[in-house]
Amino acid sequence: MSVLDSQAQELARRLHDAHETYKEKTFTHRRFKHKDILPLLNALGGPLSVSQVGESLEKRSIHQVKAGIGQTKVLLWSQMHGDEATATMAMFDIFAFLQAKNDGFDELRQTILTNTTLYFVPMLNPDGAERFQRRTATDIDMNRDALRLQTPEGTLLKNLQQTLKPLVGFNLHDQNPRYGVGKTGKQAVVSFLATAYDEDRNVNDVRQRSMQLIVGMNRALQQFIPGQVGRYDDEFEPRAFGDNIQKWGTTLILIESGGFKGDPEKMTIRRLNFVAILTALKSIADGSYKQENSADYQAIPENGRALFDVLIRNATVIREGRPVLVDVGINQYETNTKAADEFYYKSSVDDIGDLSTFYGLDEIDATGLTLVPAYTYPDTLDSVADLAKLDLPALGRDGVVAFKVRKAQKDNFPAQAVHLLFEGSLPAQPLELEQIPTFLLKKGNKIQYRFINGFWKENSENRQNGVID
């Protein structure tokens, strides 16, 4: 490693360790709204300036935060998909960093702010953020609207790129947390992409700069998440902003915030965004990225869908009186509350069979275990409140985890680890695709695992909730 590389690594380590100092305390989860960021924007001071540059379809304001006096322009935007909020949090952490002084980073700030002018657009899709959904209020995916420009938010983004003509753009997203790094079985915590600008995926000076910057960011992050940085597939998407902005002459870097086990609100990845973006801005400001070998970009393993939240291996199920050996892939999906400010998990059996080429964030070796139906409490309860009258732990030890209720709201998920049945009963067949995974794993007559809504008691590190069916 060169002296320059060592210095860059040390800077990344210092930024990582100091992140808590600049962390915007308002953000404790990802489901914040437009109204939550407005007072934060209004409170920003020098060297930052805030201006409204547009508004969404539903008239929510979209703002630009400007910093620096340098000739090199950099445009950064977050949350063009409303449910991809990690980088928005990191942006506000960066704002706090840029406003600080006498903390050991003054030289870094001076380098960045003297040599670049930064244009941040946090929460480009505030209507989507209100619903915590990917698409805009028009139900259009803004990242497939670069050509038709039917969304006001997409039109704004193109206007900013065409007017500012930045050298570099950062397109900041979240990706499915079930992406893995190559064939390693490791979760892709962060993924990068130097977007293609044509079908042949050619590399010109504009795209090469993307690759060089990504090489530096990857090196910086490897010391915190070794082997957990992926390279996103660069197939050309003619409707996407990333691909078109690269074509329009701005070096485009896509950063995808994936998943980190035990951290559903992505606070760890928020910190990694803070580190990656600031180290990249420093290398843009001083030109050090030019020394990177763009070929090292291709050495970053490509990410892919290779993970389940839970993978049960080698379980036996009985079909037509015959034992069948299967693996079971389970995913725990987030379901928004009505106000989209909280979520519950509703899990699904997403694959059955030979899953030996897949991995699980949690894995169970069920060799010698038989997957059988869970038991339903014999009496029908009037309401969910009646659960408090029962000895749920004792019932659970006997495999009784499902309860019929007469009065319940379909979207009111119970806090207890139970499977409520508002209509009907548990399936007679305990294992079917797209079924809610509530079942038992037994060895002989002894229950080894009780699965309720895709969770089991021994998996206590994860937040759990019951389900209503």
Reported as a single tens digit per residue, the pLDDT across 446-464 is 999 999 999 986 554 556 7
Q: Which domains does the chain have, with CATH numbers?
A: 3-305 (3.40.630.10), 309-468 (no CATH)
Predicted confidence at residue 461, as pLDDT, reads 52
Cα angle, residue 401 at apex, residues 399 and 407 outer, rounded to 5°: 155
Predicted confidence at residue 463, as pLDDT, reads 62
* Residues 6 or more apart in contact with residue 28 via CB below 8 angstroms: 265
> In whole angstroms, what is the distance from residue 423 CA to residue 124 CA?
41
Predicted confidence at residue 155, as pLDDT, reads 99
Q: pLDDT tens, 325-347?
A: 999 999 999 999 999 999 999 99
Whether pTM > 0.85 for this model: the answer is yes
What burial letters (b/e) apply to 15-40, b meaning 16+ CB within 10 Å?
A: bbebbeebbbeebeebbbbbeebeeb
Kindly compute the dihedral angle of the four CA atoms of residues 455, 459, 460, 462, in this order, to the nearest 10 degrees: -70
> In whole angstroms, what is the distance from residue 154 CA to residue 121 CA?
12
Predicted confidence at residue 430, as pLDDT, reads 81
Residue segments in the chain with a per-residue pLDDT below the cut of 50: 460
**Residue 282 token pair:** 């420093």
